[in-house]
Amino acid sequence: MSKVIITARAHQALMDKLTQKGYEVINAPSISYQELSDSLEGTEGLVVTTRIKIDRQLIDKATELKWIGRLGSGMELIDAEYAETKGIKCISSPEGNRNAVAEHTLAILLSLLNKIHSVQKELIAGKWLREENRRTELSGKTVGIIGFGNAGSAFAKLLYPFDVTVLAYDKYKFGFSKDYIKEASLEHVCRYADVISFHIPLTSETHHLGNDVFFRSLKQKPWIVNTSRGSIISTIDLKTALTDGLISGAGLDVLENEKLYSYNDQEKEMFHWLLDQPNVIITPHIAGYSQEAFLKMSEVLLQKLGLL
């Protein structure tokens, strides 16, 4: 019997369907790299997230592997190019959580503009401040979207009722302008956007795209939102942009280092500084973590594998 190893938390529907299709399912959401390496004999499929790096060493050891399925988006921890030279199919399921990411992005943005998170802190401290908390409306603004794939386009769709202009930049996608959505260069996004939201994969091209040069090219003092990957933005340069008034604030669902227990003194200081800012929101990489997406990602994976 062929084996599938699931290396992260997945919906029960995934295990049930794989079992129905005749697979021996090993549900091991806490499995370590070494434990996975030692368990690959007879494995036809792997289901992964961002917990374990699927590198050449693992791929070479998995001599019977036919497919690697990624729950969610982002393939940076899978050496997909090498896997495909071995005849191993690599698929992801961003369609499953794109709506969740889009809604979370909008929630962060509206919370920043309406000062909801910072007002809560003031109320806890016994402060009832009205004049100091005049808000900024999203309606009528120009929203820049960097990356117009699954999540970026889903976010743009949610913006329709706000009567905004969307300037969308995607280096690898064209011909998607429609109504309030306009294709734009990165330069135009930086020049005209009141909000800039990142929806791109982490690659050698996009690593630290949000750096000091980027922030100093911004003209409208925009709000920055990142629900893609932490290393898209340089945290040090983000802090400088905040202190120098180059941006109005930032909403981050992802960080360069999300393992808080591993922080050195400098990282701890930076993290707590960001948390102390009234114009910064940080959430713990939960943009794609809705109840609905938990099921949908498994369904999309099964569908792409021809098992649904």
Residue 269's alpha-carbon distances to 248, 262, 279, in angstroms, are 21, 13, 17
State CA 111 to chain mean position distance: 18
pLDDT tens digits along 71-124: 998 888 999 999 999 999 999 999 999 999 999 999 999 999 999 999 999 999
Cβ density class 174-209: b for 16+ within 10 Å, e for less: eeeeeeebebbebeebbbbbbbbbbbbbbeeebbbb
Q: What is the DSSP string of 130-165?
A: SGGG-----TT-EEEEE--SHHHHHHHHHTGGGTPE
- Active-site residues, by number, are 229, 258, 285
pLDDT tens digits along 170-183: 999 999 999 999 99
- Please name each of the domains of the chain with its CATH number: 3-94+291-304 (3.40.50.720), 98-282 (3.40.50.720)
Q: Rounded distance, CA 70 to CA 263, Å?
A: 28
> pTM here?
0.94
Count CA atoms within 13 Å of residue 2 on its CB side: 16
Mean pLDDT of the chain: 96
